[in-house]
Amino acid sequence: MLKHQIVLILVLFLWGCKNEKENSISTKTPTQNTEVTYAKGFSVEKQASGITLIKVLKPWVNSEKTFTYALIPKEILATITLNKNEYDEIISTPLENMVVTSTTHIPALEELGILDKLIGFPDTKYISSKAARNLIDSGKIKELGVNENLNTEAVLALQPDLVFGFAINNSNNTYETIQRAKIPVVYNGDWVEETPLGKAEWIKFFALFFNKTEQANAIFTRIEKSYLEAKKIASKATYRPTVLCGALYKDVWYLPGGKSWAANFLQDANSNYLWNTTDENGSLSLSWESVLDVGQHADYWIGPAQYLSYQEMKSASQHYSQFNAFQSKKIFTTANTIGETGGTLYYELAPQRPDLVLKDLIHILHPGLLPNYEPFFFKPLL
């Protein structure tokens, strides 16, 4: 898990299938429309029969497979027969319970009012949500090992209606074992999205499994409105400060690519991210000398990986002290905003609340534009 935490620290901020029905259905089931505006990783097709088809287009980086899931309301399940070979999973809805595998899933469940449906999670110590921690403490959310080594025996004992999986590649033997036990696995690719609002829109994905589309649309509309209003405020700034990101890990400096999630935040905050012309949508891997050459005189340093203080950074590498932002103490981090069990709140909540991230950055980069705003994630390095 430590390895995954380090990767997340360095990268996350830095970062139609035809339905052949074998019977005819005369009654059209009322459905709620799900319009996907920003997210590029999934699509939704509502059919007149009442079936909902979800396609997960990009479950992990460089994925070449599209997953297709058929959701059938329980009240019409007995009237429908589908060819199972045409779908990766056929799921009856609404779900009674579930397992999720990433802390980024937790805020969406909480917002939708379905957190009580969560019965298992790998590495519960990293969950920061107070409501979720109460459920963990009361034994209602079971510990399931760690994500890359999910305890299959524990999952099988729980017999959840569905496992929402998180994967970084197509080697997922654990999920295959779970599926062979007739427990459906659905991949969630929210983490691959490149835009802030694209990540947040995955709340609509979860909602489809619980008949919560109306609520999800309202929640996302509120977040979208808040984000776009903040972006408009940022556009009023007359000076675009220069920004450096990231830090060294084993002599390699990791920082956001120009088309990454983090770079999009910095652009919307009306700043000049010094690597914004690069084409990568993940992270860049550079030498410290090349970073110094470009970023030595940057006005601000946002997201210095896991570091909590200037002293800690200096002890780790003397190179850091050569940057102006270090000398002028204009480094801001999310690493010291943690939950009660030590989980970094940013990695759990930021994808669901991009409006708060953007407001934090505007407050930092354009002092005066949001004078009464109290930063939520990003705080000055100690």
Q: What is the pLDDT of residue 106?
A: 97
The CATH fold assigned to 237-380 is Rossmann fold (3.40.50)
Q: What is the pLDDT of residue 1?
A: 42
Within the chain, which residues score under 70 in pLDDT? 1-33, 147-148
Q: What is the pLDDT of residue 149?
A: 77
336, two tokens:
């010291």
| 210-219 pLDDT per residue, tens | 999 999 999 9
What is residue 283's three-state secondary structure?
Answer: strand
What is residue 223's three-state secondary structure?
Answer: helix
Q: What is the pLDDT of residue 172?
A: 86
357: nearest Cα among 380, 324, 334, 330 = 334
Residue spans of the domains in the chain: they are 2-11+29-224, 237-380
283-286: strand order across its sheet: 247-249, 252-256, 283-286
Q: What is the pLDDT of residue 19?
A: 34
Q: Are 67 and 187 in contact (CB under 8 A)?
A: yes
Q: What is the pLDDT of residue 33?
A: 67
Partnered with residue 21 across adjacent β-strands are 82
Q: Does 237-380 match 2-11+29-224 at the fold level?
A: yes
> Exposed, middle or buried by CB within 10 Å (0-12, 13-18, 19+), for 36?
middle
Distance, in Å, from the CA atom of 118 to the CA atom of 106, rounded to the nearest integer, reads 9
The CATH fold assigned to 2-11+29-224 is Rossmann fold (3.40.50)
Q: What is the pLDDT of residue 167?
A: 87
Q: Cα–Cα distances in Å, from 220 out to 35, 214, 232, 330?
A: 11, 10, 18, 33
Q: Cα–Cα distances in Å, from 69 out to 18, 42, 52, 72?
A: 12, 11, 8, 10
